[in-house]
Amino acid sequence: MLRATLRALGALILLGALLAPLTASAHEEVNVGKYTLEIGWVNEPVLLGESNGVFLSVVNSETG
C-alpha cells in the first residue's frame, strides 16, 4: 500500500513539474563609471515558448 501511494505521489509531482510553466526572471542594473546599464527582458516573467525581447538601457548617472 505504501509503495503504491509513493508511486502515485511521485507521478503527481512529475506531472505538476511538466505542466507548470517554466519561468526565468532576469533584470539587472550595473554602474560603469558615470553610466548605468540596465538589461533584462521586455516582458517578465519570461514564459517558455512565448516571444519576448531583450531590453537594454544606457543612462548617464550624472544627469539622471
Q: What is the dihedral of CA 7, 9, 11, 13, to 10 degrees?
A: -150
Query: Residue 38 pLDDT > 80, yes or no?
Result: yes
The answer to whether position 8 is within a domain reads no
Any domain includes 11: no
Q: Closest Cα to residue 35, out of 12, 15, 63, 10?
A: 63
Task: Specify if 32 maps to a domain.
Answer: yes
Q: Is residue 17 part of a domain?
A: no
In a domain, 55, yes or no: yes
Asked if residue 3 is part of any domain, the answer here is no
Q: Is residue 31 part of a domain?
A: yes
At 20 the pLDDT is: 58
Which has more pLDDT, 58 or 14?
A: 58
Residue 30 in domain: yes
Tell me: pLDDT of 40 over 80. Answer: yes
- The whole domain housing 45 covers 22-64
Cβ atoms 5, 30 nearer than 8 A = no
Q: With CA atoms as reference, report the closest residue to 44 among 60, 27, 20.
A: 27
Instruction: Output the pTM of the full model.
Output: 0.47
Provide the domain count of the chain. Answer: 1
The overall average pLDDT reported for the chain is 78
Give the pLDDT band (50/70/90) at residue 24. low
